[in-house]
Chains A and B, each alone.
Chain A
């Protein structure tokens, strides 16, 4: 115990007097500033932690990209899948969802250029419009997951990549 307490000493065992008097004023000022920074930041951390914890209780962690899960078994032989949406791709929320979808579906690559691929994912806010387009283009619906993502097969795919 004595050794542990000694080890916590600010000053190594050099035979010199062990107190602040062996430090210069700038060094003492600097250490006081360090102590203030640690103290302030620890308080800020605690506030941030509590705030996030409270937030998580109200709104549990969500990952919008999980909307695209449950399709891996059908896409396991594909390298690419087309992606069609009626949402604004420049909207940050949509950009985030696209990036997360890309992550969830990896190693299958999502491609906005749909004509080349055997499979196409429809991510439409208006499901009726999506079905209308699918019918009009002669695409074959393969699966629709619970979150509204429709996977269709494109019989006329150019198959440049796959």
Chain B
């Protein structure tokens, strides 16, 4: 294994960490893990945006440009980090032991995912047909890289945004050619940081080490989750960026910290650049976040004009973070080649049968054995949590997640290009899988915490 394979990922982590430290105050030692796991995904997302900027400016892959911009950003952030004289809080010995134990257990739980993934070194069908094909075209295609976006290649989904291929291009930057180990590492890293972030979020919500470890262990023990996560698809990126966005939105709502506002916007921008589903989710999250930020004051003494300003600031930041997606969709995407509006089409109408199939298939999918009882667990948690699941400080999570699911189900009904039975079979499980970490996080927060910041042991 080449040592160079790790260097781009390490640069991204360092960039992300400096930016996180500058944006949000890490005051408590319990916030350190969440800061680290956010840094990894933020850094890789920024790297992806820088690579995209290279294709916009230089019009092709340019190794020197990409490395220079990365190093420039990193040096600037390090300078600002030193200038602000930031330092991490001292970690008490007990928490050091807790964090080390959790890191050890999570790493151990990630090993089975790596072992299973190595049986398929080139990933699953979409890995070679969509994501890694595009990454190869971007890296080796010279000035003709846009050939991969022509409508005749509709099977490769040319309208899909390119966050994952750009991350893989960044991963290959110091290597000769395109070794398949890099996309595999990207998938494994995102599997690890998704599980890690889930643990860190719950830990920062004052859950004990043991309780906070349960949801990531549920994920990493589920064969179906680790199969899809290590298949080199973009779904694991949706899992991660959805979780990161929701956490930052909750924090922004609670703390009204401009740093969390910027982070929320950045993570939503990255989520939107993952896949069209991510774009939909980012728009839904943005709408709810702006409405809640503007119309639901979280503390006394907040004037309507102040709240309006915050809402407008979030919208402006979101616009900036969504720029890569907007630019891609306007200037590069050939548009969705696999769309027929069933509501207006005479040949392929959206019928009642289609709606029945969707609802029936959702039920069949939820109780399918491949989920190993995880949906039963989440539904039980929601039932036991009842009202607390929808309490005010976390209501944003269910609002966004359920609105997203309803929107996707409606899209299945609306778009009649594909036969519904085949389409549901090949895609619904991935939509549900991308919701899993966020839903587990929501269930555990609502069941085991009172209002955020208070101790978790319930007196219900």
Contact = CB atoms under 8 A, between A and B. Distances in A.
Interface of A: 3-4, 6-14, 16, 22-24, 26-27, 29-31, 33-34, 36-38, 40-42, 44-45, 48-49, 52-53, 56, 61, 63, 65, 79-80, 96, 99-100, 102-103, 106-107, 109, 111
A30 B141 contact: no
Contacts of B448: 27
Contacts of A22: 457-458
Contact of A24 (B98, B115, B122, B458): B458
Contact of B148 (A44, A61, A109): A109
Interface stretch (B6-14, B77-85, B124-132, B267-275): B124-132
Contact of A12 (B120, B148, B208): B208
B97 A4 contact: yes
B222 interface: yes
Task: Summarize B's interface: helix, strand, loop or mixed.
Answer: helix
Nearest to A24: B460
A45 B230 CA distance: 14
A159 to B, nearest CB: 15
Contacts of B376: 33
B457 A14 contact: yes
A95 to B, nearest CB: 8
Contact of B137 (A13, A52, A106, A111): A106
B226 interface: yes
B72 interface: no
Interface of B: 93-98, 100-101, 112, 115-116, 119-122, 125, 128-129, 132-133, 136-137, 140-142, 144-145, 147-148, 150, 152-153, 155-156, 206, 208-211, 214, 217-218, 221-223, 226, 372-374, 376-377, 380-381, 384, 447-448, 455-458, 460
A45 B447 contact: no
A7 B94 contact: yes
A11 B208 contact: yes
B119 A61 contact: yes
Given A23-B457, A103-B132, A106-B137, A49 B373 contact: no
Nearest to A52: B119
